[in-house]
A and B are shown apart, each in its own frame.
Chain A
Amino acid sequence: MDLIEQNLLREVADLDGLPTGAYNLRENGKTAARNSTANIEIIPKTDKPGIDIRIHPGTRHESVHIPVILSESGLKDLVYNDFYIGEGSDVVIIAGCGISNCGNADSEHDGIHTFYVAKNAKVRYIEKHYGEGEGRGKRLMNPTTIVHLEEGAVMEMETAQIAGVDDTLRITEATLAENATLEIKEKILTTGDQHAESKFTADLNGENSSCNIISHAVARDESRQHFSSVLNGKAACAGHTECDSIIMDHAVVLASPQLCASCQDANLIHEAAIGKIAGEQLIKLMTLGLTEKEAEEQVIAGFLR
């Protein structure tokens, strides 16, 4: 692994080398390293690119790293990863994709991740997207996450795209059974003429299921963002989405929330806010000795924490 690839790995997975536990490192469209453990099997697919990650029932306090790095310009990578989280398990999955494109051809990674979270299992899923490189070729990422939560299952998902991705379409779809819980925190920063679109759909099918989606986004320069969410309350459930965006310069932000209840005990809420950084926040930080620019960076860093 060269220095560029090492840096990508650090950016997307906080790793300085191969992790302990189960992992699958995908590099320029091929598996570069893989490790299964007694409780977590990683099996390559035979019909299409990708892997199956099988986590045995009752597995607790174990983690899986599945980073993807692309350093070849012009590469188009498509991968299908399926996660089977066994009943009663409690695990952390760290995914992420880093693209370094110094060439003139576009590089693209499309990852389709499907989670089957069994009864009373809990999974924390962390996904970071990062791009870099001075070439004219674009860095494109289109992650799709499909989540099936069985009775009492819990998923906490944290996604972040903070720098260097020119175009992204992020799709997240979830179905929730009785007592299942889904928590999503998304952070996005777009700059230059980047474009980002996030689409969330959650079907709250089971009694007492709950879903909370929080998106914090900052759009700078000429960039464009579109957030859309659809919550379908089909039982006595609780659904909440919050889309909070800071708009700067000449950026464009569109928020399209949608709530649909087909049960009178469904409790669905959406909050959306788009606005510039509050002047009083900048003034406060300037009274502490920061310049206006430094104050702006502090506010954004906090907002995207």
Chain B
Amino acid sequence: MKETALGKRKAAGTVLGCFVLFFQIHKRSIRSNGVNRLLTLQQISYDSEDAKEILHDISLEFQDEFVAITGPNGGGKSTLAKIIAGILKPTAGRIFWDGKDITEMSITDRARMGMSYAFQQPVQFKGLRVRDLLKLAAGKDSTFRDACDVLSEVGLCARDYIDRDLDGSLSGGERKRIEIAMVLARKTRVSVFDEPEAGIDLWSFQNLTRVFEKLQKQLNGCILVISHQERILEIADKILYLKDGHVERYGSRAEILPSLLQSAEHGTCQVMKEKMEGA
């Protein structure tokens, strides 16, 4: 039988289809085996301008999961988060996103690839309103409904807030919640939060943990949260404990949390322990 052009195209299409199917199955099997490496940090080090070593030889892998990053102050948590977002460039080492080297990639390009970052100290703007920033975060003309969706997640009523300037006229807690709302509006694959619980005022931790759980469920992406709060560590898939610029411990919550809580208890000084027990 004479082979037609249409027949050739069909045959080619079938081969391509098989390949795509194979690739999808393969990809799923990689994920199900827990080998899917969304972000890979390879021997990352960072020295401050005055040559102080902040991070030393950090190698880590993050998948589509919720990772709580904890550890003592000055341990390098925020520096690590800023290196992931591209705000700081590592002194040594490489970062990969789905196998692609992004070490030299700008903040903007990483954001466009699907990276979000919530600052520990939200930035203030003169004349830029909550509405403007949510629109920029969403990357489109967001409607009142869109703004309402994300602001209500952080316990703010859009009607009261969208026309407010994002400046000192808002309380620290309000600015912090709007910072979180901006990340929610972006709906990205990777979301990094630097101490989201700090200064959250009357809004409870319970609401904050619910936000992270919902975000993880909706996006099925990678959420990295720097936190000192046990309630946040309790809902994480994994916990990373950073100390003095080194990875002290990294593993599942079940592996890490009990030992962390135990060491925290042992770390309490005798006088305080006696007082607390006495109370």
Contact = CB atoms under 8 A, between A and B. Distances in A.
Contact of B186 (A244, A280, A288, A298): A288
B181 interface: no
B123 A286 contact: no
A289 interface: yes
A301 B111 CA distance: 22
A305 B126 CA distance: 9
Contacts of A303: 126-127
Contact of A291 (B108, B115, B133, B186): B108
Interface in A183-228: 216
Nearest to A305: B127
A290 interface: yes
B273 interface: no
A302 B87 contact: no
Given A287-B116, A291-B108, A292-B108, A299 B125 contact: yes
Given A298-B128, A302-B128, A302-B132, A288 B111 contact: yes
A43 interface: no
Interface string B119-138: 10001011111001100110
B112 interface: yes
B182 A288 contact: yes
B247 interface: no
Contacts of B112: 289
Given A298-B136, A302-B132, A287 B127 contact: no
A248 B87 CA distance: 22
Nearest to B115: A287
B106 interface: yes
Contacts of A286: 106-108, 111
Interface in A270-292: 278, 280-281, 283-292
B108 A284 contact: no
A33 B123 CA distance: 49
Given A287-B117, A288-B136, A302 B107 contact: no
Contact of B123 (A216, A280, A302): A280
Nearest to B87: A283
Interface in B140-189: 182, 186
B97 to A, nearest CB: 15
Contacts of B224: none
B125 A281 contact: yes
A237 B139 CA distance: 47
Which of A216, A285, A288, A298 counts the most B-chain CB atoms under 10 A from its CB?
A288
Interface string B66-99: 0000000000000000000101000000000000
B108 A290 contact: yes
A302 B182 CA distance: 18
Given A244-B126, A304-B127, A305-B127, A287 B139 contact: no
Nearest to A278: B123
A278 B121 CA distance: 14
Contacts of A278: 123
B172 to A, nearest CB: 15
Nearest to B127: A302
8 contacts: A283-B123, A284-B123, A286-B111, A289-B136, A289-B186, A290-B136, A291-B108, A302-B126
Interface of B: 85, 87, 106-108, 111-112, 115-117, 119, 123, 125-129, 132-133, 136-137, 139, 182, 186
Q: Which 6 A-B pairs have the closest CB atoms?
A: A302-B127, A302-B128, A284-B123, A286-B107, A289-B111, A305-B127
